Structure 1
Amino acid sequence: MPILSSLRRRSAAISVAAVAGATAIGVCLAVGSASAGTLSGSLYRDPSSAVVRWVAANPGNSRTAVIRDKIASQPQARWFANFNPSTVQSEVSGFIGAANAAQQIPVLAVYEITNRDCGGASAGGAPDLNQYQTWVSNFARGLGNQTVIIILETDSLALLTCLNSAEINARNQAISTATQTIKSGNPNAKVYLDGGHSTWNSAGETANRLRAAGVQYADGFFTNVSNYNSTSSEANFGRAVISALNGMGISGKRQIIDTSRNGGASGDWCGDDNTDRRIGQYPTTNTGDSNIDAYLWVKPPGEADGCRYTAGSFQPDLAYSLANGVPNPPTTAPPTTVPPTTTPPPTTAPPTTPPPTGNGCSASVVVNQWSGGFTASVTVTAGAAGINGWTVTVALPSGAAVTGVWSAQATGTSGTVRYTNVSYNGQVGAGQSTNFGFQGTGTGPSATAACAAS
């Protein structure tokens, strides 16, 4: 019997979100302020994910409202799956900076291990394990110092059939080293290793593989990214894995369950060919279970597995079938809280002056400052007439330097820095606003900046 059907395994498809425009989506995060695990607080919704971009580009599509309200409104993992050692630090820094500015917890899925997916639909990864460690080191440098969730290498431990014993040992060492590198780069990073799922390897075997890969250095393990098993089945499996780890002298580990597509399951294992699946529980850190740190949407709903469509591509028919008929998320968003283990940074309030009454634009800056660094969120507002482009000039204090930028192009890194719009946020309607942001070292800028319309 083929391995895919016998194990009911699906590969975690590559999902690398390009920086692109957000649309006006009512964000209804199903996140509470309480938590039974080690995490609490709001999860970050990536404003440039594939589903958000599709909703923005298809406002008149008959499927848009369902996809917008039930999928695009929710926080999902940003996947880092391209072997790009020279740029990964800046990409991570930009994503983390935006989440920090929102004072929310980002979820990052690392999918870069050598020989990933055993050459299947999501084949790729670093050319060798030495280059993998270089990539991970650069990745870790962009993580900042606030709470982040790292889903480290889906299928890397549950799927070992293509590796010999020496290769398995090398992979285990690579994952253990990667975990420690990430923890060293950001001590507040929460790192979870691959636990497969409840209908794959046994709990005892899963615990053995986690131990071999250095789970003692991690915060726990994740399950169900590669299947659609019910949350209750995964929770029972997780308890058995934790019990087995405790028996090995490894205590204090917790589980994360991917609920992105486990709200209904029947038929073939591959989501591309099945319209009976439904999204499961909305993402939250409020699990009510001391063994479970979060229910997350690690695999973004609507992104293909590689059966009928290219792995990782967003397919609106898949997204619609997952969300159609499912109850809406809660309509009341929770308070935005600073992730645990950090002290809320001082925030400079934006100016309260109205937008310009003539042609042109204004810019206000909100700065989150911490010891040694800052993030800045900039709001660009058009005046009485719409604009087709903008330039914002920000004066940085002496000693400050920009290390990352999102949703804008920057000229310079210190002194007076010039920011111009990118393709998707240059047009701003009369009285309307758009945003960009940047991160840096030293002291952040003041609350005002100069804006000029193109």
Structure 2
Amino acid sequence: MHSILHSRTVATAVSCMALALSSSIGLTSAEELCSIPPYSYTRAKSDHPELTSAIETLENYAIASWFTDRQGTDERSTMLSNMLNQCSEETRLSIVVYGIPNKDCAAGLSSEGSVKSTDDYKAFLQELTGAIGDRKVLYVVEPDALGLLAEEGGCGASAGYLDNLKVAVEALSSNPNAELYIDIGYWMLAYPDSASKVATAMKEIVTSGRVKGVTINTSNYRSTDECTTYCTNFQTAMGKSDMSCVVDTSRNYNGSPTSDWCNVQTAGIGKPPTSETGVSNIDYFMWIKPPGESDGECPTGGTSAGSFYLEGFTLLWDQSYFVSEQGMPKIGDGPSTPAPTKYEPNSSADDENQSAPDQTTSMPTHAPTTDNSNWNQEQTVGTVAPADTTSTEAPSTPETVAPSTTAPVMETTTAPSYSTTPATTAPSTTASTGQTESTTQSNAIPPRSACKTKKRLRSL
């Protein structure tokens, strides 16, 4: 009898230890992303007080900050300083690196910047890595570059993208706490032949350092389920599953109609940034494109690329995860419930949860502007890279940001200028995945047809 009781006691103790260990692993494995809110939000709250509650909800989460050669050295330095001061060391910084020589070689709309050569690029990267040191950081590496390098007849090869991406990977992965994801247009992973070209380029790039995988859907609207399929295609092409993906969920809650990509009227803000995605091959959901910043002057309406678009933000919020799943009111519906500080999952096993980065400290100054009057159906504008000034408060004079596809550009004038982000190119049609969102949604997801491909263009 004593032996039986002893055995049961030991078994119970082992069980408790296993549970404690499991809980500990669960607690330590989650990564909290952190960055600084875009300056466009500071101005929007001032210009449109009715948006304050919604915007402050979004400011509880990390919206990736852009480190680009379209900003001046002082602006980049201030941005990094603000981020390092405002984000605790337990969090993982989220930064988009956009400064490769000859960037945007296809469209040439965001090719301007201070980096003209590989030596310039090395100095640019040293500026970043020197400031970050060994802090935990997630780098989204060079939007568009891998796609322009891998695509058939792309200009990336002659523009030196392969060698310079290897330079970037070597420099950025010198920090043992850095996680690198190279950006790739989703359409390059839609078909086996193009995915194979991506894999060939990636296998060469990773010889220079550590790369965890690719980012998909930057500044776009493709659903999480669709992007998960593209990530699987990437892993299949690589011939292994140790590389995974990051999905930009900033505007993908309702997926996207096939031919509609510019300020999509049915779009909604998607699941908040988190490492707890509930999808085995998706490491993070991120907000790379600041929700509410315009794709440009589109047929459906819009302001200049990268500037805050009131009507667009209202639609994104009213059709968002926060309204549909968290029960928050639509804009104009009355007082909001307190902005959640955590990503609260539903009971569904497919849902994700995450602590929201607390960013209650002073706002950085970044914002966008850019003329996109010559709009055409092959052009799409992406996120705007924030430009920080020496002040931690919003500048009294608006900054101008010229956004292009996914990357931002800062222009310095006597008054702070907003920088823009590069546009994304969507390519030929991809077949519908026939999937529905893996997350529970109260709003029906519109049927998806084949994805129409376009080339990434920027309006910088």
Scaled to the shorter chain, the TM-score interval is 0.5 to 0.7
Question: For 2:147 and 2:182, how far apart are their aligned partners in 1?
Answer: 10
Match of 2:158 among 160, 167, 192: 167
Structure 2 residue aligned with 1:262: 252
Question: For 1:378 and 1:300, how far apart are their aligned partners in 2?
Answer: 19
Alpha-carbon contact 1:275-1:318 (below 8 Å) kept: yes
Displacement of 1:86 after TM fit? Answer: 4.1
User: Which letter maps to 2:170?
Assistant: Q
Match of 1:115 among 99, 102, 111: 102
Structure 2 residue aligned with 1:292: 282
User: Which letter maps to 1:75?
Assistant: A
Cα deviation 1:293-320 (Å, max 9, x = unaligned): 1000111112233454433222222222
Alpha-carbon contact 1:99-1:106 (below 8 Å) kept: no
User: Which letter maps to 2:307?
Assistant: S
Helix, strand or coil for the counterpart of 1:234?
Answer: helix
Displacement of 1:158 after TM fit? Answer: 1.1
Alpha-carbon contact 1:260-1:297 (below 8 Å) kept: yes
In the superposition, relative to structure 1, how do residues 423 and 74 fare at CA in structure 2: closer, same or farther (>3 Å)? closer
In the superposition, relative to structure 1, how do residues 102 and 39 fare at CA in structure 2: closer, same or farther (>3 Å)? same
In the superposition, relative to structure 1, how do residues 120 and 318 fare at CA in structure 2: closer, same or farther (>3 Å)? farther
User: Which letter maps to 1:113?
Assistant: I
Structure 2 residue aligned with 1:242: 235
Question: For 1:262 and 1:378, how far apart are their aligned partners in 2?
Answer: 28
Structure 1 residue aligned with 2:311: 317
**RMSD in angstroms over aligned alpha carbons?**
3.6
- Output aligned runs, 1:241-390, within 5 Å: 241-246=234-239, 252-264=242-254, 265-266=256-257, 268-272=259-263, 274-308=264-298, 309-328=303-322, 333-334=341-342
Identity, % of aligned pairs? Answer: 25
User: Which letter maps to 2:262?
Assistant: G
Alpha-carbon contact 1:113-1:153 (below 8 Å) kept: yes
Cα deviation 1:133-183 (Å, max 9, x = unaligned): 221121111113221111011111113468557525x21111111111012
Helix, strand or coil for the counterpart of 1:322?
Answer: helix
Helix, strand or coil for the counterpart of 2:232?
Answer: helix
Alpha-carbon contact 1:109-1:153 (below 8 Å) kept: yes
In the superposition, relative to structure 1, how do residues 327 and 200 fare at CA in structure 2: closer, same or farther (>3 Å)? closer
TM-score (norm. length: structure 2): 0.57
Question: For 1:123 and 1:316, how far apart are their aligned partners in 2?
Answer: 29
Question: For 2:35 and 2:184, how far apart are their aligned partners in 1?
Answer: 25
Structure 1 residue aligned with 2:200: 208
Question: For 1:305 and 1:424, how far apart are their aligned partners in 2?
Answer: 24
Alpha-carbon contact 1:108-1:149 (below 8 Å) kept: yes
Count of aligned pairs: 306
Matched, 1:149 2:138: yes
Structure 1's unaligned 5+ residue stretches are 1-32, 336-376, 380-405, 410-420, 426-454
Question: For 2:190 and 2:199, how far apart are their aligned partners in 1?
Answer: 10
Structure 2 residue aligned with 1:90: 77
Alpha-carbon contact 2:94-2:138 (below 8 Å) kept: yes
In the superposition, relative to structure 1, how do residues 228 and 200 fare at CA in structure 2: closer, same or farther (>3 Å)? farther
- Output aligned runs, 1:15-30, within 5 Å: none
Alpha-carbon contact 1:198-1:229 (below 8 Å) kept: no
TM-score (norm. length: structure 1): 0.58
- Output aligned runs, 1:196-235, within 5 Å: 196-198=185-187, 202=191, 203-214=195-206, 217-235=210-228
Question: For 1:166 and 1:157, how far apart are their aligned partners in 2?
Answer: 10
Helix, strand or coil for the counterpart of 1:101?
Answer: coil
Question: For 2:196 and 2:139, how far apart are their aligned partners in 1?
Answer: 24
Cα deviation 1:177-235 (Å, max 9, x = unaligned): 11110122x22011111232156653323222322333763121111104321111111
Question: For 1:34 and 1:275, how far apart are their aligned partners in 2?
Answer: 43
Helix, strand or coil for the counterpart of 2:145?
Answer: coil
Structure (1/2) with the larger strand percentage: 1
Cα deviation 1:46-86 (Å, max 9, x = unaligned): 24x134313431353x44444443x3443210112234574
Matched, 1:131 2:131: no
User: Which letter maps to 2:221?
Assistant: Y
Question: For 2:93 and 2:200, how far apart are their aligned partners in 1?
Answer: 29
In the superposition, relative to structure 1, how do residues 111 and 307 fare at CA in structure 2: closer, same or farther (>3 Å)? farther
Structure 2 residue aligned with 1:80: 67
Helix, strand or coil for the counterpart of 1:288?
Answer: coil
Structure 2's unaligned 5+ residue stretches are 1-22, 327-338, 344-359, 363-387, 397-460
Alpha-carbon contact 1:50-1:314 (below 8 Å) kept: no
